[in-house]
Amino acid sequence: MRPESKVDILAAHADLPALPLTLEGSSVLHQMMRFRWTAWKKLSPAQKKKIVAEAVKTLAPMEQQGESALYSILGHKADLIFVHFRPSFEELKSAELRLGSLELWDLLEPAGSYLSVIELGLYDSTVKLYRALTERGLELNSEEWKRETEEAMQHQRQAMQPRLFPKIPASRYLSFYPMDRRRGEEKNWYTLPIQERQRQMAEHGEVGRRYAGQVKQIISGSIGFDDWEWGVDLFADDPLVFKKLIYEMRFDEVSAVYAAFGAFYVGVRCPVARLGDLLSGKLPKKE
């Protein structure tokens, strides 16, 4: 039997619903900050020690639980980036408020932020489920359709718990960037049939799988939450992997034709216990 071609995919089940099913997990907040070095240098050693000690006391438990991490940003876009994973927006806000109450916060100025929710797009599962329900003659969005869809989703949620609610990886380097799918007059991702989007995403995923073990990728959805549609976090111990992975992905169709990218932030992990070293001009070594 010959493999299913692009023409086959576009022709088969052309009336399937357009919206892919998704699973949502941890709420995610990135806080990009500039550090007021001039004000810091004017403080006495005792004042600096007090500020660092208070910050470490607050941040260390968050870091140990894999819920928050601190990175020193390379380049001019920011000095620091705080990354937070939490079960809900309320808990994200609590973390934000706790940091805002620190004396350290008086030395920080916001350079940007990004709010999103960890998301797993289920293109393959969605198309298979929609086909099965359609072939059985179920009416779209009928009670039976909704019930069977929710049962399938619940099974997926249980199976995907570790991916939906991960700890922040302990990798040395972070690359974060936002992205969109094009929706212009000539190329519009959202007008493609779901089967064609499934095909392109499967091709895109094959590239990422070739880098398994070298980089950890966490995708978060931000439609309705921030200025772009998705946020992408890449974690690795070798920053060159970011370049190789993203460059190779640029050649697949979904990126070459339908992707738009925002600013990239690349940072080096700073263990909270070594914050004092960082603010003294010493990049903490990998532990």
Let me know: does 125 contact 156? Beta carbons within 8 Å: yes
d(CA 20, CA 181) in angstroms, rounded, equals 14
pLDDT, greater one: 12 or 197: 197
Residue 287 confidence (pLDDT): 65
Q: Is residue 85 part of a domain?
A: yes
Q: Is residue 156 part of a domain?
A: no
Let me know: does 85 contact 95? Beta carbons within 8 Å: no
Let me know: does 208 contact 217? Beta carbons within 8 Å: yes
Residue 2 confidence (pLDDT): 44
Let me know: does 257 contact 251? Beta carbons within 8 Å: no
Q: Is residue 75 part of a domain?
A: yes
Mean pLDDT, all residues of the chain: 92
Q: In 10 A of CB 83, how many CB atoms?
A: 22
Task: Convert the pLDDT of each residue in 37-76 to its tens digit.
Answer: 999 999 999 999 999 999 999 999 999 999 999 999 999 9
Q: Is residue 83 part of a domain?
A: yes
Q: What is the mean pLDDT of residues 271-284?
A: 94
From the number of C-beta atoms within 10 Å of its C-beta (0-12, 13-18, 19+), residue 144 rates as exposed
Report which residue type is found at 152: A
- On whether the pTM is more than 0.85, the answer is yes
Q: Is residue 59 part of a domain?
A: yes
Closest by CA to 81, choosing from 282, 267, 275, 272, is 267
**CB under 8 Å to 129, separation ≥6 — which residues?**
21, 148, 149, 152
Range of the domain at 57: 26-117+269-279
Q: Is residue 123 part of a domain?
A: no
d(CA 282, CA 270) in angstroms, rounded, equals 10
Q: Is residue 46 part of a domain?
A: yes
**CB under 8 Å to 56, separation ≥6 — which residues?**
272, 273, 275, 276
Q: What is the mean pLDDT of residues 169-182?
A: 96
CATH of the domain at 90: 3.30.70.1030
Is the per-residue pLDDT at 185 higher than 60? yes
Question: How many distinct structural domains can be found in the chain?
Answer: 1
Q: Which of 85-99, 118-132, 148-162, 175-189 has the highest mean pLDDT?
A: 85-99
Determine which one of 71, 177, 258, 265 is catalytic.
Answer: 177
Catalytic (active site) residue 258: no
Q: Is residue 208 part of a domain?
A: no
